[in-house]
Chain A
Amino acid sequence: MQSTQTKIERFLQGDNSVMEDLLSLFRDKVWYYLKAKIPYDDVEDLFHDVVIAGFNGLPRLQEPDKLLPWMLAITRRKIQEYYKKRDVATTSYSEEQQEPTYHPKKNLSQEKSIKLNKIHGCINQLREPFREVAILHFILGMPYPEVALMMGCNDNTAKSRINRAKVMIFKCSGGK
């Protein structure tokens, strides 16, 4: 089993066979993260931008073990650029345009879909750092230690933020 560092070094030396292995280390997480933050129609385009930027930037990655946090940092930057461009491109601001849309995959009732869509909307309305931890934990399914690593804080702080975010989302989505 090769380490991430070995795979990166092989890729940098021109070995294309490790690309798939490297991609598998962050592909799904980046995909879910994008889905949670931008409108679904644009996810695929931005995903490819992120992947290309990531591979191009690999020579600058200082700690290969932190490939995933590093890729998510690139993803965050791309999302910021995406919204910046959209704000410039669109003449009038529309709340609806800024809201990522949720597409149910299971056979859920319409009522349930609406409820989940509302919860998703509430996650995106949270202020930072609660929005970030909510996406990492509830959407990407990262456990507390991984969220802590991503956020650069200790496990207890991550847990506390996640739980506070949960209460905020509950209030926002109709919990009285």
Chain B
Amino acid sequence: MLNTEELDILLVTKTVEEIVADHGAELDEPARAYLGKFAAFEEELTLLGEEFRLAPAPQTTPDPRLFEGRKSLSWWRRPLAIPAWASLAAAALCLVLILTHPFAEVDPKPDAGLDLKTLLAAQRSAPEEPMDRFDQQVFQALSERAIHYIERDTPEHYKLALADLEAVHRMKPNDTRLLRYLVLTCDSLGLSTRKNTYQKLLDNASGRP
């Protein structure tokens, strides 16, 4: 006859019906009662599951604003999720931006219009000309802006600084501080000819041969 331990082992692999069918001859009254109790328990277990599944989850949907950042999260991980036309449009836009960006500009004649003789003549003819109040203010503003640009230390800002420095240089051709900034700026932009020109003007202004 099968005892409860043996029945427990059988219950792992067989249903109650299968045990009764396969081992009917080995089941005495207590074993049959045990199996009956187990069958009743199985029903209770099923009922418990049904009870849990009776009340469904609340049918609310979270506020979509909670997930506003999802696009930026997903793009780099799921590049294939972006439509092909959008990828192509973005690539074309990037190309246009790169080509039209001032960084990519190549100045074909960086030193055009800068004639050393003319500059030296201007420097000599107006070395000590006093500036009126307005000119002084313009000079001050442009100089400060140029220095501000230089401090940003990017090619684009050096270009902007050069424009300002050249403007104030025309107002004070002998200002050695300005000339030093002009040399520095031209050097940073790789404008060697123009740098040499301003270097000579600087040497001249500071009395060096």
Contacts and interface: CB of A to CB of B under 8 A. Distances in A.
B11 to A, nearest CB: 5
B71 A27 contact: no
Nearest to A19: B61
Nearest to A20: B61
Contacts of A16: 64
Given A12-B74, A19-B61, A173-B41, 16 more contacts: A11-B70, A13-B74, A23-B61, A31-B56, A58-B74, A59-B70, A102-B48, A105-B54, A112-B47, A115-B44, A138-B49, A139-B49, A163-B11, A163-B12, A164-B12, A175-B41
B52 A13 contact: no
Interface size class of B (residues with CB under 8 A): 35 or more
Interface of B (DSSP majority class): helix
A56 B58 CA distance: 20
Interface of B: 4, 8, 11-13, 34, 37-38, 41-42, 44-59, 61-62, 64, 66-67, 70-71, 73-74, 77-78, 81
Nearest to B74: A12
19 contacts: A13-B74, A19-B62, A19-B64, A27-B57, A32-B52, A32-B53, A44-B58, A102-B48, A106-B51, A106-B54, A116-B47, A119-B44, A120-B48, A140-B53, A141-B49, A160-B12, A163-B12, A163-B13, A175-B37
Given A31-B57, A164-B12, A170 B38 contact: yes
B12 A167 contact: yes
B48 A30 contact: no
A60 B76 CA distance: 11
Interface in A89-146: 102, 104-106, 112, 115-116, 119-120, 138-141
A155 interface: no
B69 to A, nearest CB: 9
Closest 4 interchain pairs by CB? A31-B57, A12-B74, A16-B64, A105-B54
A135 to B, nearest CB: 9
A57 to B, nearest CB: 10
Contacts of B41: 119, 169-170, 173, 175
Contacts of A164: 12
A85 B44 CA distance: 33
A82 B11 CA distance: 36
B62 A166 contact: no
B7 to A, nearest CB: 9
Nearest to B46: A138
A12 B51 CA distance: 36
Contacts of B78: 9, 12, 59
A173 to B, nearest CB: 7
A28 B56 contact: yes
A23 B67 CA distance: 14
A14 B70 contact: yes
A70 interface: no
A67 B80 CA distance: 20
A31 B67 CA distance: 21
B70 A105 contact: no
A55 B51 contact: no
A55 B69 CA distance: 11
Nearest to B60: A48
Contacts of B44: 112, 115-116, 119
A136 to B, nearest CB: 11
Interface in A1-55: 9, 11-14, 16, 19-20, 23, 27-28, 30-32, 35-36, 44, 47-48, 51-52, 55
